[in-house]
Amino acid sequence: MPKTFHEIPRERPATPVLDRAETPEQLRRLGEAELEILANELRQELLYCVGRTGGHFGAGLGVIELTIALHYVFNTPEDRLVWDVGHQAYPHKILTGRRHRMETLRQQGGLTAFPRRSESPYDTFGVGHSSTSISAALGMAIASQLRGDRRKSVAIIGDGALTAGMAFEALNHAPDTRASMLVVLNDNDMAISNNVGGLSSYLAKILSSRTYSTMREGSRNILSRLPGAWEIARRTEEYAKGMLAPGVLFEELGWNYIGPVDGHNLPDLIATLRNMRDLPGLQFLHVITKKGKGFAPAEADPVRYHAITKLESGTPVADPKPAAPKYASIFGQWLCDTASADPKLVGITPAMCEGSDMVAFSQKFPNRYFDVAIAEQHAVTLAAGMACEGYKPVVAIYSTFLQRAYDQLIHDVALQNLDVLFAIDRAGLVGEDGPTHAGSFDISFLRCIPDMLIMTPSDENELRRMLTTGYRHPGPAAVRYPRGTGPNAALEPGMQPLEIGRGLIRRPGRRVALLVFGVLLQEALQVAEALDATLADMRFVKPLDEPLVRQLAEEHELLVTLEENSIMGGAGSAVGEYLSHLNLARPLLQLGLPDRYVEHAKPAVMLAECGLDARGIRQAIETRLQALAG
């Protein structure tokens, strides 16, 4: 197997067995002796494909054998496989008729980065956010039960995704439904993994066998006639299993726990899945895998190799360091600087330490750093509790993930006017990850909340100043900033806050006024120069700089608002509402994200598709001016 990026296949490897297993139906015709060869070929194929396109890497390498076993044992797509998040689903895509389209992965018009129902009948549930699989598979199992058919439902969830409350809500609810389903826990990092070994694998096969199940039910029938005897036997079985398997929690919730088993041992996996496939009720299989299996750098550093960019000949696997700092890096440095000056600062993230650039903060201030795992709702209410006690929480969270904690944002923070700063990363379009990860709606869903301070920086220096502004503001505040790098603006010394609710005219002009909310300022500047238009960096969505809006409306024929957010309910709507309040009739052109999901592509391509590049902005303005003149 490849040990370094230089050994990743540059051309599609020869795969005689994989050539005969391009659909699950073909896969199930193979003999079991051929499956180990298939696993090696599939791993090589995945290395080749992701090296060509970039994308999620380590998780897929870790579930090669599990993916083969699931499709080999279950009658997919009739039986439902529900993959959680989708990071682990690339081998599934290769085995379900999409192998020869994998080079289009994450490319415009190509395969999506995550499972999607419209892409394949084998993608039974669309995903992107974590921890939804058990709920969705349970819904499918209940539907099957109501119809009276024998279709199987299987949820495959990672140990990270299992940390979310939604997963436990589903685990807790399932026993009340009396449905039959299987949950496969793909565990590649949990402390309970130490139980892997020959004895636990042997135990798993015994406990999942039809013979054991029959004996267990027979014993129940006999012992249930004796007062207290069945309860004693059940407890004895539970304690015996608990000595060898970490499944007591799941057993107490009402699930039949089996495992842990070696997720890279195909014969054991297939035998155990076959045993469990036809067992009635709720079944839980704990599988231990190695993230990045078969690729030494990914095995050694699974965080760094969670995803990679497209490999070019002679280049390293990891992203090359950009000339300009990423917006997330600006936030990370600000966080450390502010924490050094204020012992009341605490940093909170829902499992996005690396993505939000909080690694340095977590190392310098470990007692004030809180990674709550994939639990966005808890992250926000935890911050609220800390704020109640006089601390100053900074919640670093992706825009798309903040959607999951909207009630907590309103009810637990804003309604109580608590002093929490939200550093909202990945605002706007995010490129190849597509609409599941785009921050398209945060301005819209934030600005309707009373007393929220909402800021949109146009460059790196503005981000730093706005973070300081929000931090010093005595109440809930949000700063939204995009993925990637900015224009490499010089950082002013110190961290001076902005005057709240005040925008800035960057360029005076005539006829047309461009009111820009955020990083589209660079595109707008080109248009303003070409049209001799006024350019205003609005900075604040809430409170809106109303005197500046009124001035621009009175001095120009056309107002144009620009934002990388949904037009509906966005910053442009705020400007329109204010003009309506003044009863000031002025033509208003609102430019932003359209009322549809913008499909994955390069960020620049997505902006152009939405008419938010310089060319599209200018064309929209000239079209509106012509209409006004006509």
CA distances from 291 to 42, 60, 72, 204 (A): 15, 8, 22, 22
Q: Mean pLDDT over residues 438-451, rounded?
A: 95
pLDDT at site 70: 97
Do residues 286 and 245 touch, judged by C-beta distance below 8 A? yes
Q: Across the beta sheet with 153-158, what order do the strands follow?
A: 80-83, 153-158, 181-187, 282-288, 256-262
DSSP-derived secondary structure for 175-241: HHHT--EEEEEEESS-GGGGG-SHHHHHHHHHHTSHHHHHHHHHHHHHHTTSTTHHHHHHHHHHHHH
More confidently predicted of 313 and 7: 7
More confidently predicted of 238 and 190: 238
Instruction: State the burial class of residue 228 (Cβ atoms within 10 Å of its Cβ: 0-12, 13-18, 19+).
Output: exposed
The one-letter code for the residue type at 324 is: A
pLDDT at site 315: 47
Which pLDDT band, with edges at 50, 70 and 90, does 438 fall under? confident
| Most confident by average pLDDT, 160-169, 244-253, 278-287 | 278-287
Rounded Cα distance between 583 and 179, Å, is: 59
Tell which residue, 266, 269, 277, 282, has the closest CA to residue 172: 282
Which pLDDT band, with edges at 50, 70 and 90, does 113 fall under? confident
- Cβ atoms within 10 A of the Cβ of 602, count? 14
Q: Mean pLDDT over residues 458-474, rounded?
A: 96
The first and second tokens of residue 264, run together, are 């890279």
Do residues 563 and 517 touch, judged by C-beta distance below 8 A? yes
Q: Mean pLDDT over residues 531-548, rounded?
A: 98
Marked catalytic residue, from 41, 45, 65, 376: 376
Rounded Cα distance between 398 and 202, Å, is: 43
The first and second tokens of residue 11, run together, are 């051309």
Look at residue 321 and tell me whether its pLDDT is greater than 80: no
Look at residue 500 and tell me whether its pLDDT is greater than 90: yes
pLDDT at site 600: 87
Tell which residue, 500, 508, 515, 546, has the closest CA to residue 529: 508
pLDDT at site 163: 83
Which pLDDT band, with edges at 50, 70 and 90, does 434 fall under? confident
Do residues 574 and 605 touch, judged by C-beta distance below 8 A? no
pLDDT at site 583: 92
Instruction: State residue 82 phi and psi, 5-degree precision.
Output: -115, 110
Look at residue 112 and tell me whether its pLDDT is greater than 50: yes
Look at residue 621 and tell me whether its pLDDT is greater than 90: yes
Q: Mean pLDDT over residues 484-500, rounded?
A: 90
The DSSP letter of residue 96 is: I
Rounded Cα distance between 305 and 59, Å, is: 9
Q: Across the beta sheet with 477-480, what order do the strands follow?
A: 369-371, 345-349, 392-398, 421-425, 477-480, 453-455, 540-542
Beta strands in 12-89 (DSSP E): 55-56, 80-83
Per-residue pLDDT tens digits for 501-537: 999 999 999 999 999 999 999 999 999 999 999 999 9
Catalytic site residue 376?
A: yes
Q: What is the mean pLDDT of the chain?
A: 86
Instruction: State residue 558 phi and psi, 5-degree precision.
Output: -140, 130
Q: Mean pLDDT over residues 393-419, rounded?
A: 95
pLDDT at site 304: 57
Half-sphere exposure (CA, 13 Å, Cβ side) for 472? 13
Catalytic site residue 404?
A: yes
Question: Which ranges constitute the DSSP H helices of 459-570?
Answer: 460-472, 521-531, 546-555
Do residues 542 and 480 touch, judged by C-beta distance below 8 A? no
Look at residue 295 and tell me whether its pLDDT is greater than 70: no
Lowest mean pLDDT segment, chosen from 232-241, 415-424, 432-441, 458-467: 232-241
pLDDT at site 86: 74
Look at residue 241 and tell me whether its pLDDT is greater than 60: no
Marked catalytic residue, from 98, 99, 291, 483: 291
Per-residue pLDDT tens digits for 176-227: 998 999 999 998 864 333 333 443 454 455 556 665 566 556 555 555 655 6
- Cβ atoms within 10 A of the Cβ of 271, count? 20
Per-residue pLDDT tens digits for 27-70: 999 999 999 999 999 999 988 888 777 766 677 889 999 999 99
Rounded Cα distance between 110 and 100, Å, is: 11
Do residues 204 and 185 touch, judged by C-beta distance below 8 A? no
Q: Mean pLDDT over residues 536-557, rounded?
A: 97
Q: Mean pLDDT over residues 560-587, rounded?
A: 96
Look at the chain and count its residues: 630
Question: Which ranges constitute the DSSP H helices of 278-374?
Answer: 296-300, 327-341, 359-364
Three-state secondary structure call for residue 507: strand
Per-residue pLDDT tens digits for 130-166: 888 999 999 999 999 999 999 999 999 988 888 888 8
pLDDT at site 318: 46
Q: What is the dihedral of CA 425, 427, 431, 437, to 10 degrees?
A: 80
Marked catalytic residue, from 98, 404, 480, 586: 404
Rounded Cα distance between 19 and 37, Å, is: 12
Instruction: State residue 19 phi and psi, 5-degree precision.
Output: -60, -25
pLDDT at site 199: 38
Catalytic site residue 511?
A: no
